[in-house]
């Protein structure tokens, strides 16, 4: 039975709310042509309420354990909550039950990639692309992941206790050693501050500058990136050792924040904490703010800085660092629990109240420090 028109709309919006740009585009072009069970669960996903969606999908699955769309829904809800292990398992089941289920294959590829399983990621997208050979985005993604995989396979792996570090070897030997030392030290320092010590090894890749920008497609001003893996540009014009330490520490902070709260952390909070944990001198921030022509409200800095030019990004980092400094002072040793609350869906203001901080006081102090009257 075809999906009723109204329900199709719900499914579409759920895709938009939940998935990567690629999966959204894929879903827009082809919806599963079959009966859609558990419409309330899809509606919950649409409302950004994946906890409710997960519980409804799970209930429905007890009645219809062999419905691939329900497993796909359960996988989508788990993914939206940042529970990638559980998402992977649901999506594998969806694909086992229906090997031609392109949307499930696409999301399975995405989740496998985020979990560091490049082989499964590439296999899943290959299959999806075979089923829809005219989909340019699938092709583009597949090409990018294959290139990345071939670059990584030419790298050496440096053993470290909590990390898997890939690097070029040769001339990069010293850099690899230094990065490994910094990572281990900072793992304990940031872990202690956030009361969280990731148990699964974190993946770290040290690239040449060209490979870094080719693979991450980061803005030209960026030298580090965290997207489930810590990626750092170390080749070409080498950063000074202190600058390298700073970048490594910054990206590690993102990785530890992501293990506490994989979703829903606004970019200003994420970036602010990463700058805060860099631990180096932050006197540049007030200076940047004094000279800034515009101060962007924090709520407009929730979605990431990659669209900003270098100057705008500098101001955004300074604003975020100021916010993080105030938060860390006001929330104190509970900053890890505070992040967990935000990751569980509490707004920043509600989470502040949970820790006896008045949101108004936080925002007023931030406005005062960044120079907004
Ligand atoms: Zn960052």
For 169-214, how does the pLDDT look when each residue is reduced to its tens digit (9 = 90+)?
A: 887 888 999 999 999 999 999 999 999 999 989 999 999 888 898 8
CA of 295 relative to ligand 1 center, distance in Å: 19
CA of 104 relative to ligand 1 center, distance in Å: 30
Q: Mean pLDDT, to the nearest integer, of 83-88?
A: 95
User: How does pLDDT run across 278-336, given as a tens digit for each residue?
Assistant: 987 888 999 999 999 999 999 999 998 888 888 999 999 999 999 999 999 999 999 99
CA of 37 relative to ligand 1 center, distance in Å: 40
Parallel/antiparallel/unpaired status of strands 156-159 and 230-233: unpaired
CA of 279 relative to ligand 1 center, distance in Å: 14
CA of 346 relative to ligand 1 center, distance in Å: 22
CA of 181 relative to ligand 1 center, distance in Å: 20
CA of 33 relative to ligand 1 center, distance in Å: 41
Quick one: pLDDT at residue 5?
31
Helices (H), the chain: 5-18, 21-29, 39-46, 50-63, 68-80, 84-97, 102-114, 118-131, 136-153, 173-194, 209-216, 241-260, 267-278, 284-291, 310-331, 335-343, 348-354, 359-370
CA of 273 relative to ligand 1 center, distance in Å: 9
CA of 69 relative to ligand 1 center, distance in Å: 36
Angle at 295 between CA 292 and CA 298, to 5 degrees: 145
Per mean pLDDT, which of 97-101, 233-237, 301-305 is the most reliable? 97-101
CA of 237 relative to ligand 1 center, distance in Å: 20
Q: Please state, in angstroms and as integers, the Cα–Cα distance from residue 41 to each residue in 48, 74, 173, 200, following that order.
A: 11, 9, 51, 31
């Amino acid at each position: 039975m075809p999906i009723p028109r109204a329900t199709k709309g719900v499914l579409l919006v759920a895709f938009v709310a939940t998935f990567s740009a690629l999966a959204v585009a894929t879903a827009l072009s082809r919806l599963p042509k079959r009966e859609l069970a558990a419409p309330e669960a899809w509606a919950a996903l649409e409302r950004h309420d994946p906890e409710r969606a997960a519980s409804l999908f799970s209930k429905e699955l007890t009645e219809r354990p062999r419905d691939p769309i329900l497993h796909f829904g359960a996988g989508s809800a788990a993914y939206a909550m940042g529970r990638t292990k559980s998402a992977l398992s649901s999506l594998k089941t969806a694909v086992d039950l229906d090997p031609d289920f392109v949307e499930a294959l696409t999301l399975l590829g995405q989740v496998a990639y985020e979990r560091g399983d490049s082989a499964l990621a590439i296999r899943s997208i290959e299959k999806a692309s075979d089923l829809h050979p005219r989909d340019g985005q699938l092709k583009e993604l597949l090409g990018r992941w294959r290139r990345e995989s071939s670059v990584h396979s030419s790298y050496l792996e440096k053993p470290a206790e909590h990390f898997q570090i890939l690097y070029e070897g040769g001339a990069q030997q010293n850099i690899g050693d230094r990065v490994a030392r910094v990572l281990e030290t900072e793992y304990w320092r940031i872990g202690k501050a956030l009361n969280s010590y990731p148990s699964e090894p974190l993946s770290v890749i040290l690239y040449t500058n060209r490979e870094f920008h080719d693979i991450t497609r980061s803005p030209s001003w960026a030298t580090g990136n965290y997207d489930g893996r810590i990626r750092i540009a170390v080749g070409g014009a080498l950063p000074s050792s202190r600058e390298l330490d700073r970048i490594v520490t910054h990206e590690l902070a993102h990785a530890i924040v992501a293990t506490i709260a994989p979703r829903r952390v606004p970019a200003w909070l994420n970036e602010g904490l990463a700058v805060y944990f860099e631990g180096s001198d932050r006197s540049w921030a007030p200076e940047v703010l004094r000279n800034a022509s515009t101060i962007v409200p924090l709520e407009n800095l929730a979605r990431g800085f990659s669209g900003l030019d270098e100057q705008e990004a500098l101001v955004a980092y300074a604003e975020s660092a100021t916010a993080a400094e105030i938060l860390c002072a006001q929330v104190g040793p509970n900053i890890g629990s505070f992040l967990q609350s935000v990751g569980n869906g509490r707004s920043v203001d509600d989470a502040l109240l949970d820790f006896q901080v008045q949101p108004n006081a936080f925002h007023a102090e931030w406005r005062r420090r960044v120079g907004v009257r």
